[in-house]
Amino acid sequence: MLQRRLVFQALDASWTSLAVLILVGVAAALVILLSKYERKLVPAHVGYGLLFLRLAVIAVIWLALLQPVLTWNIDRERTGRVIVALDLSESMTTTDRIATKAEKLRTAIGLGMIGNDQNRDRWMRVLADFEAEREPKWVDDDEGASFEQRATLAKTRKELIGETFQKLDKLPRAEIAQKLIGDQENPDGWLAELKKSFNVELRVFGGKSVPSELETLTDTVQKPPDALVKSLTNLVSALETSSAEQSPVKAFVVFSDGRETSGSDPLSVAKRWRDLDVAVFPVLIGSERRPKDIVLDALDVPPVAYLNDKPIARVTLQAAGFEGETLNVVLEQKDGETQTRSLVVPKSDSGLPPVIVAEYLLDATKIGRQRFTVRTDVLSGETRDDNNSRDFSLLVVDDKARVLLVEGEARWEFRFLEAAFARDERVRLERVVFQQPHLGVLPETFFPRQLNWPGPETPIEKSPLAEFDLIVIGDVAPLDLSEVLLAQLEKFVSEIGGTVVFTAGKRHMPMLYRSTTLDKLLPVTKLRPVNSLDPPTTPPHLRGFHLRLTPDGEREGGLQLGGDADINRSTWRNLPGHPWALIGDLKPGATVLATADDGQSLPPEMERSRALIVEQYYGLGQVYWLGFDSTWRWRHRVGDQYHHRFWGQMARTAAQNKASSGNEFVKFGLESTDVQAGQDVIFRARWTPPLLARRPDVKAKVAIFPRNDAKPDQPISTVDLTPDQSRPSVHQGRWLAATAGEYRAILKIDGPPLGGPGDKEIVADFLVRGPITKELADVTASRVLLDQMAQVSRGKLLMLHQLIELPKLIQPEALAIRESHEYTLWDHWLLLAILLGLLTAEWILRKWNGLP
């Protein structure tokens, strides 16, 4: 309904409107007096014409001073939206042959394969008998006049049940859900009923949510889009809605097996929807009976090894239903040897599937990327045969990481770190300790006591610094690390791509320094000491500040201490704490990798002010800050397991960064050169300050080719690199790796070559592995999480046979929405045109008749 109204805003202020009225009255009186005088000089019709024009001018001015505004209201009635979300993750491709009779009958009733409005009550009684695990009463008392008729009727119904169950054994969960929804021409009864009262919006989801349509749903189920990321189930994505859509959401209907594998928190999202009076109605798809299945659950492999290293691959498998049987776990190397471990599946008393662990010594005698496959044979009775193998790779490099330790005195951190690197055959280590006891028995101290670096006149490429990949600076006094030495250190990072790690010191580093160069290198500011309040008697694994990785830290290759993301996250949180630390604020362009963990989730702004491990790209290199001096505490009861792995990966990362693809203007690489299908490949180009000063608007893109492509001039995809908001010198782009294989990325720079026509091609190779996630680790349907989502949102968990009740649970509500619009008239150009027209006409008429 449309309502219009003209409003004079000046009338809201009584004194203003009164003053305007008085002025208009005075002006009109003066014009009338003037007209009486002029009528003595000109004909009467001319005098009256001038009077009319002048009064019209006054009227127009008065109208403008009253500030007229035209308003109109439009009342619209809108119905709410119901969002139907269908899970198309990999677990939804499971066929539930092992489902109980009750579960199969629920599915058959929901699909309309058994029962109708007339005999639904009878089949519900059969379902109750199946749920109670007793033989159903197939024939009612009032059916069949004779024993033979009743026996025939019972036999017919048993055969119907058997034939229906055989058909269901061939249907995957996703196809069952699709049939429950229906299609455009024949939507299921519950959906057709909902459409009478609501706008129904359909979407499919896995790791991400993708809009869908009823007419294409069958094709979508058969071939889910790559953007959906079917290797994950993210129930939060099912509860997302478009902010551009104005129609309010009334309910979510989520078809899923309830296996949340993305690590998200759908319960908190469901609670927020409850506050908006939006309910969630999950529909459980699949069997809750644990199937017989062998699953390759986890794989712990170092991404990089040096030539002739002895890297270990640790494989974890689940073998539900095969207790006591012998399982052959095979590791195959492409163009290499095959290793087999024969393991007996243990019994499990916990109710969880039994776990088997196999370890293999990987062959690192060949340089380059070595490819492996770990697999088990598919045994009789397995539910799935696509989760028994996994491909992975190991990058073998022919070099040693060159590390320099610089320390003020031999504190505990230095002693354990020096010992760890000294035992590593793949690290070439040098040490400088400024303060050492010297009794004069030997001519010199055990370690060098000074840095014999040449002066700034020597090019950094010819300096001894150029030999190192990683330099670790400990608690060094300002007198020992002069401004000249810091300037050389800065060139080591910015010009030749070196890596520097600054570790906090209680005495000197960096609190006693007043160095502009050090201030530029450090990725943190406003450092402040903090001490743990835990008593000394507290066990070491509980005492002090513990570390929590940020999302950026979880992706950092050098911080991987566990086999997968969950294990790695847990490992970091359970490391022994630190009794003292220097906590600082993040510099622009730096990245927080780990913060002090107090058990509470932190918003990003809090992470930036509690940084303990920080990374910053600086020129062609990188700088790390460790705000504590006790990584040696990580050795508590585990020896080198975490301490040496952390520092060893730091050294290897530094060596890789220095040797990464690029030139004197840019470093190009990937966040990870070994990713799973369904994950994003992240490309990064780091430009040097001189290049950005010369070409501040430099643009680049990445062309992606199959590794052994016969047509290298035709990329399969192109990714634009855009500046990182927090790090302007870093441009990055993402590419969804949908298909496993080997690929090559080539950096393409818009405009003229950076260094001239002779520039070499900048390339980086990477591997996309077939996905293996928790999605197939346990394909048992789980009602627990779905039921919790329903309860916290005031919805209801529905079994398939209860879906017909859904339209009664969502009450329609007509929503009256008023849209108000205003249009100001007093400042419109047409009013000014009328005023000027009247003044012009008055002037012409007056001059035409000889009046002044």
133 located within any domain: no
Q: Which of 6-15, 127-136, 155-164, 352-361 has the lowest mean pLDDT?
A: 6-15
Distance CA 306, CA 726 (A): 34
Lowest mean pLDDT among 5-19, 293-307, 536-550: 5-19
Average pLDDT of the segment spanning 97-120: 87
> pLDDT at position 789, please?
94
pLDDT by residue (tens digit) across 28-67?
888 888 877 777 777 878 778 878 888 888 888 877 787 7
- Tell me, yes or no, whether 775 lies in a domain: no
- Residue 656 domain flag: no
Pair 377, 411 in one domain: no
Residue 688 falls within a domain, yes or no?
yes
In a 13 Å sphere around the CA of 218, the CA atoms on its Cβ side amount to 8
- Indicate whether 77 pLDDT > 60: no
Say if residue 105 is exposed, middle or buried (CB neighbours under 10 Å; 0-12, 13-18, 19+).
Answer: buried
| Predicted confidence (pLDDT) at residue 475 exceeds the cutoff of 90 | yes
What's residue 104's pLDDT? 92
Report the CATH number at residue 712: 2.60.40.1930
Distance (Å, whole) CA 56 – CA 838: 7
Across 267-280, average pLDDT: 91
pLDDT at 205 over 90: yes
Output the pLDDT for position 284: 94
Q: Residue 331: beta bridge partners? A: 339, 374
**Same domain for 594 and 743:** no
Residue 529 placed within a domain = yes
pLDDT tens per residue across span 445-455 = 777 888 888 77
Q: pLDDT: is 187 or 763 the higher one?
A: 763
Q: Residue 576 and residue 635: Cα distance in Å, rounded?
A: 9
Going by C-alpha positions, the residue among 230, 200, 189, 268 that lies closest to residue 88 is 230
Q: Let me know whether 388 and 435 are in one domain.
A: no
Closest CA to 745 of 760, 716, 765, 731: 765
Integer CA distances (angstroms), 72 to 67, 173, 822, 826, in order: 16, 53, 7, 17
Where residue 316 sits, what CATH number does that domain have?
Answer: 2.60.40.10
Residues 442 and 542 in one domain: yes
In this prediction, residues 694-713 reach a mean pLDDT of 79
Instruction: Decide which of 267 and 62 is more confident.
Output: 267
What is residue 495's predicted lDDT score, i.e. its pLDDT? 79
Q: What is the pLDDT of residue 522?
A: 93
Q: Are residues 406 and 500 in the same domain?
A: yes
Task: Return the pLDDT at 532.
Answer: 82
Task: Indicate the pLDDT class of residue 601, thresholds 50, 70 and 90.
Answer: low
542 and 489 housed in the same domain = yes
* Residue 261 covered by a domain: no
Instruction: Let me know whether 411 and 478 are in one domain.
Output: yes
Q: Are residues 407 and 392 located together in one domain of the fold?
A: no
Within a domain: residue 210?
no
Per-residue pLDDT at 760 exceeds 60: yes
More confident residue, 737 or 632: 632
Q: Which domain holds residue 479?
A: 401-650
Q: Count how many domains the chain has.
A: 4
Q: What does each C-alpha distance from 212 to 240, 245, 473, 510 come to in angstroms?
A: 14, 16, 56, 57
Phi-psi region of 386 (alpha: psi -120 to 50; beta: other; left: phi over 0): alpha
Mean pLDDT of 286-306: 82
Could you tell me how far CA 575 lies from the centroid of its own chain?
26
Q: Does residue 438 carry a pLDDT above 70?
A: no
Separation CA 714–CA 346 (nearest Å):
52
Sheet containing 68-78: order of strands: 2-8, 68-78, 815-824
One domain, residues 443 and 558: yes
281: pLDDT strictly greater than 90: yes
Q: Which of 707, 736, 769 is the last residue of a domain?
A: 769
Q: How far apart are CA 294 and CA 317, in angstroms?
A: 7
Percent of the chain having pLDDT more than 70?
91
3-state helix, strand, coil in the chain (%, to 5): 30, 30, 40
Mean pLDDT to the nearest integer, 256-281:
89
Q: 773-788, pLDDT tens digit by residue?
A: 567 777 888 889 999 9
pLDDT at 773: 59
- Residue-level pLDDT at 399: 67
Angle, CA 693 vertex, CA 692 and CA 699 arms, to 5°: 30
Task: Out of 378, 397, 416, pick the residue that ends a domain.
Answer: 397
Quick one: 328 and 389 in the same domain?
yes
Is residue 84 very low, low, confident or very high in pLDDT (cuts 50, 70, 90)? very high
Q: Is the pTM of this model over 0.75?
A: no
What is the predicted pLDDT for the residue at 602? Answer: 55
Residue closest to 204 by CA, chosen among 183, 243, 185, 178: 178
pLDDT at 343: 87
790 pLDDT band (50/70/90 cuts)?
very high
Q: How far apart are CA 491 and CA 195, in angstroms?
A: 68
Per-residue model confidence (pLDDT) at position 661: 66
Specify the length of the chain in residues: 852
**Residue 485, domain CATH:** 3.40.50.880
Q: What is the pLDDT of residue 772?
A: 58
Q: Note whether 365 and 413 are same-domain residues.
A: no
Using the predicted structure, report yes or no on whether residue 27 has a pLDDT greater than 70: yes
- Mean pLDDT (the chain, rounded): 83
Question: Looking at the predicted structure, is the pLDDT value of residue 20 above 90?
Answer: no
Q: Is the peptide bond before 187 cis (omega within 30 degrees of 0)?
A: no
Is 116 part of a structural domain of the chain? no
- Is residue 78's pLDDT more than 60? no
Could you report the per-residue pLDDT of 792-845, keeping only the tens digit for each? 999 999 999 899 889 889 877 655 556 677 777 777 788 788 888 888 888 888
More confident residue, 456 or 522: 522
CB atoms within 10 A of CB 60: 18
Transcribe 623-689 into DSSP letters.
Answer: EEEE--S-GGGGGTTTTHHHHHHHHHHHHHHHHHHHTSSB-SSEEEEES-SEEETTSEEEEEEEE-H
What is the per-residue pLDDT for 318? Answer: 85
When pLDDT is averaged across residues 146-159 and rounded to a whole number, the result is: 85
**Position 144 pLDDT exceeds 60:** yes
Which of 650, 683, 708 is where one domain is finished? Answer: 650
* 414/503 same-domain check: yes
Residues 6 or more apart whose Cβ sits within 8 Å of residue 251: 80, 82, 83, 278, 279, 280, 281, 795, 810
Under DSSP, is residue 839 helix (H, G, I), strand (E, B) or coil? helix
Answer yes or no: is pLDDT of 99 > 80. yes
Q: Inform me whether the pLDDT recorded for 649 exceeds 90.
A: no
